[in-house]
Structure 1
Amino acid sequence: MADSGQKFISRNRSPRVHISYDVETYGARKSVELPFVMGVMSDLSGKSEVAKKDLKDREFSEFDIDNFDKRMAAISPRAAFLVDNEIEGEGKLGVDLTFKKMDDFEPGKIAQNVPALAKLLEARQQLNDLLIMMDGKQNATELLDKVLKDENLLKALSEAKAKSEAEGEATADAAETEE
């Protein structure tokens, strides 16, 4: 069975708050120390889609390092808002984030959950992978420099990629209509 939060804290670090009172029993004075327990009442779920109980029906939940992700998944905090679209330079970008564990607050995870940022993150990862593969390969580096400096060749490669993507979408659409 799991220890209480008070026992966990006392085992791992000393408490910062000491509350004690003196008691006199049968003529002997004794100091009794009370545990410091804090209760927080707050709606930390944001725009969560998980139904909430009425305030009178809610109970306190114990949060600690061992069950934090489980508690967060149960609450399922959500943030939905609009931000300026700095990627395209105009308009607004809709952001809808749901957090299931503490790792979901990391910048990389947030970027993965915003489609426009996910594309940029994927491109960055691919460029990083390319850099790793080309490390020490002089001929490949020279070829890539040549391609990047030749605007006509770069434009032709871009058009070829767009054409192959369009053909792939047309093939996928044709396969869907056959079903």
Structure 2
Amino acid sequence: VMGDFIGRDDDKAFDERKAINIDKDNFNDVMEGQGLSVEMSVPNHLSDVKDGEERANLSTTLNFKNMRDFEPDTIAKEVPELKKLLDLRDALTALKGPLGNVPEFRKLIQTLVKDDATRDTLMKELKLDEEE
């Protein structure tokens, strides 16, 4: 297959570009070498919207170095807001083992994570709010 798949302007004319041989053994290396990424802005469904307000957008850049980077879990880890929630989920899962059978504790945790301010405080206490 031959084509102009770069998806953006390129200073080189099409006929001056070098052909790249791709096979099952070098596919991921070729992908990484191409520096594939996409910048996108999507409606932010992670925050509640008050009546009369418009939903804010969430902007992010996704980088694709191999085929696994297209999997939902990998994409979620590339979006900082989603990564924080995944880290919080992992921390809560770690707590679930020793404390998961205590009904009062479970109710308290459910109450804490429903409230945005309390959830943010909990994330700070668990040191999950720091930028990496």
Q: Show the 5 A alignment for 1:10-159.
A: 39-43=1-5, 45-46=6-7, 53-89=12-48, 90-134=55-99, 138=101, 141-145=102-106, 147-148=108-109, 158=118
**Cα–Cα, structure 1 residues 96 and 47, in superposed 2: closer, same or farther, change >3 Å?**
farther
Q: Is the 8 A contact 1:46 1:77 kept in 2?
A: no
- TM-score (normalised: structure 1): 0.52
- Taking structure 2 as the reference length, the TM-score comes to 0.67
Select the structure of larger CA radius of gyration.
1
Q: Aligned to 2:4, what secondary structure does the other structure show?
A: coil
- What is the rounded CA distance, in whole Å, between the counterparts of 1:115 and 1:81 in structure 2? 14
Which runs of 5 or more structure 2 residues have no equivalent in the other structure? 49-54, 128-132
Secondary structure of the 2:46 match is coil
Secondary structure of the 1:72 match is helix
How many correspondences in the alignment? 114
Structure 1 residue ranges (4+ consecutive) displaced by more than 4 angstroms after TM superposition: 45-48, 148-151
**Percent identity of the aligned residues?**
27
The structure showing larger relative contact order (alpha-carbon pairs under 8 Å, at least 6 residues apart) is: 2
**Deviation, structure 1 residue 143:** 4.9
Superposition deviation, residue 74 in structure 1:
0.8
1:124 maps to a residue whose letter is R
Supply the AA of the counterpart residue of 2:2: V
- RMSD of Structure 2 on Structure 1 (CA): 3.3
